[in-house]
Amino acid sequence: MAPTSAGAITVLAVMAALLVGGLVLTLRWAARPYRAGEGPPAVRYLRGLAVALVAGFWAGVLVTGPAVRLAMRLLAVTGGDEAQRRFTEADEIVGRVDVGGTISLILFGGVLPGLLSGLIYLLVRRLLPAGAWGGVVFGLLHLVVAATRLDPLRPDNPDFDLVGPGWLAVVTFGLAAVAHGMAVAAFAARYSEALPPAAPATRAAWVRVLLPLVVPALMVLLLVPVVVLLAAGLLVAAVAGRSPGVMRAVRSPRVVTAGRVALAALALVLLPGAVTDVHDVVVRDEVAANPSSALRGPG
């Protein structure tokens, strides 16, 4: 295998530093409670939206993106010499680590999924366990619901024919999914404490609080369909605010219990398929080495 260039080593070192820093913050904030906002439903909606964007964006930048970058590099190394310089499904070259490719990977493999996860977390937050376990469960739900059906553990991904072994892909990307869920929950809890700033809310205090929101907000504003959906959500929140009975019903313990039951049922329904998909990734090496075994089947 060709030696790693100095530029690649620098990129990987930066990714490792970001990941370590992100995990430290995640563990530091994991047990913090989420603080719901006050005021009319429309105001609480906008505040929740800001918390979701900040949590998802920075979880993607500091945890998910770097974790996926390092995991892919590890799988490229363990894939052996025959995997090097071959093209992946995304037309990237196995074994090549550069700044442009890494930024693209963090954006599409960390930030954009993170923004979506932040919004989903704010919707299901009350259905999850309190404290640090809420983030763990949220990460496990990512693994069961999304990781094996979309990415990165989609079993029909041809990249698993190039890199591996399969069990290592499952371990690394599985841990990345759980860490992603924990980071989104922890960052959301931390930012919910800061927004709005404590009195007296000076201009400098507002600048410090809103600064982490600037980049994720600008990214979302560039996505017109997303802006339309979020604006529709604001309209729904404003209308619901005129019906106190509706708001009390949504927040009632019965609704929360019903939501938890529905979420657990969804996970149980999808779990067998996720287990099968993970198994397919793990045994990919055996099938590739002995294609006739796939035709013979068990026994």
* Alpha-carbon dihedral angle through residues 264, 139, 33, 241, given to the nearest 10 degrees: -60
CA dihedral sign of residues 40, 44, 46, 47: positive
Band of the pLDDT at 83, cuts 50, 70, 90? low
Amino acid at 29: W
- The pLDDT of residue 81 is above 80: no
First to last CA, the chain: 38
What's the pLDDT score for residue 90?
67
Amino acid at 278: V
d(CA 98, CA 78): 19
Angle at 168 between CA 164 and CA 171, to 5 degrees: 145
What's the pLDDT score for residue 294?
43
Tokens 């490229």 belong to: 76
Q: Where are the domains of the chain?
A: 6-296
Band of the pLDDT at 5, cuts 50, 70, 90? confident
14 vs 298, more confident: 14
The CA-atom distances, in angstroms, between 104 and each of 58, 118, 198 are 16, 20, 37
Band of the pLDDT at 119, cuts 50, 70, 90? very high
Mean pLDDT of 59-76: 92
The tokens for 204 are: 């400098």
By CB atoms closer than 10 A (0-12, 13-18, 19+), residue 263 is: middle
239 vs 90, more confident: 239
**pTM greater than 0.85:** yes
Q: Encode pLDDT of 139-167 as tens digits.
A: 999 989 888 887 788 888 777 777 778 88
The CA-atom distances, in angstroms, between 101 and each of 30, 96, 105, 181, 219 are 31, 9, 6, 24, 19
Residues above pLDDT 90, as percent of the chain = 40
d(CA 159, CA 284): 11
Q: Encode pLDDT of 253-289 as tens digits.
A: 888 899 999 999 999 999 998 888 888 888 865 555 4
Among the listed ranges 4-13, 117-126, 129-138, 159-168, which one has the minimum average pLDDT value? 159-168
228 vs 240, more confident: 228
Closest CA to 22 of 84, 76, 54, 65: 65
Mean pLDDT of 175-201: 91
Closest CA to 75 of 263, 228, 285: 285
Q: Encode pLDDT of 32-66 as tens digits.
A: 999 987 878 888 889 999 999 999 999 999 999 99
Across the chain, which distance is largest between two alpha carbons, in Å?
A: 73
Tokens 């949220």 belong to: 138
